[in-house]
Each structure stands twice: as C-alpha cells, then as structure tokens.
Amino acid sequence: MVHTGIGYDVHQLVAGRKLILGGVEIPHAKGLDGHSDADVLMHAICDAVLGALGEADIGHFFPNTDPRWRGAPSKVFLEEAARQAKFQEARIVNVDATIIAQQPKVYPHIQEMKINIAGALGININRVGIKATTNELMGFIGREEGIAAMAVAAVDRPEPK
C-alpha cells in the first residue's frame, strides 16, 4: 500500500555560513542558520519520508540539542530515513520537492541536488523531482531573510500483519 508524507522546513539566511541546498554548496553571500548544515531541502524530504512511514519528524531522530549533529551534513538524515524504510520493509517510491528562495537562483544546481538526494535515499534519480520558485519579493523569503522547502514522498509499505 502506498503511503504519502509531507515535509516543510525553513531556515534564516545569515552571514558567515555556507549555503547548502540538496547537499550542494551554492555560492551566495549568506548561508542558512541551523544546528546542522541547515539544508532545508534535505530536511523537508526527510520529514516527508518519515511521515509516509508513520514516524516522528527529523527533530525526534536528530535533536538540535544533541552536539553530535552540530554541523552535520543532512545527507546523514536522509540516509537514516532510508534505513527506517528498509527496517519497515518499505520502498521509497518517489520524492518531489520545491525550494522557495528569492536568491540565489538554484536551477543550475538541481541536477547535482537530485544526484545527492537519490544517492542518500538509495533510489533512482528519476524518482526525485526538485523545482524552485521565488516568493515574488513578498514576505521574509522575498526580502531574502530565509529559504524554505516543501516536499512530498510516496512510500510503498506492506500491510500490517
């Protein structure tokens, strides 16, 4: 039976941090603030997969109060979501995500993001969709104060016994 999950994440843009989206370092004057690498795209996808599995969110598995995760690459979080799926004898069917950022333009980096996400989840790259949009200069995203991402995941889970 196919189950779906949704994920959303947002982080503030700040000076002095690298901007990491989909595991790709993107040249920009600011980066995303957070305990880990603050990769909103991978965080949203992680929550979507965990939600489809009926699990708690990313913060349950990787609390920001745990020093082990300070500066951690978010690829680790996606790998854990994939491990949780395997543990449940489930198969990640696909993920689809949207990055919402006024700047920088992320389209040139999407293919590399898809490669990173597919690799971390152990799925074919053709099962990963990533899009990007702006907020048309409105709100905190339009003012370039932060970046958000939303995602949906489909996971084929066996019927409970």
Q: For the chain, what percent of residues have pLDDT higher than 70? A: 99
Q: What is the mean pLDDT of residues 3-12?
A: 98
CA atoms within 13 A on the CB side of 55: 25
Choose among 130, 117, 147: nearest CA to 34: 147
CB 50 within 8 A of CB 92: no
Does position 145 have pLDDT exceeding 80, yes or no? yes
Each domain of the chain, given as residue ranges in start order, spans: 2-156
The CA–CA distances, whole Å, from 109 to 83, 106, 132, 153 equal: 26, 5, 10, 21
Does position 49 have pLDDT exceeding 80, yes or no? yes
pLDDT band at 98 (very low <50, low <70, confident <90, very high): very high
Tens of pLDDT, residues 59-84: 888 888 887 888 889 999 999 999 99
Does position 21 have pLDDT exceeding 80, yes or no? yes
Tens of pLDDT, residues 112-131: 999 999 999 999 999 999 99
pLDDT given at position 4: 98
Kind of pairing between the strands at 146-156 and 91-100 = antiparallel
End-to-end Cα separation, the chain, in angstroms: 13
Return the CATH superfamily for domain 2-156: 2-C-methyl-D-erythritol 2,4-cyclodiphosphate synthase (3.30.1330.50)
Whole-number average pLDDT of the chain: 95
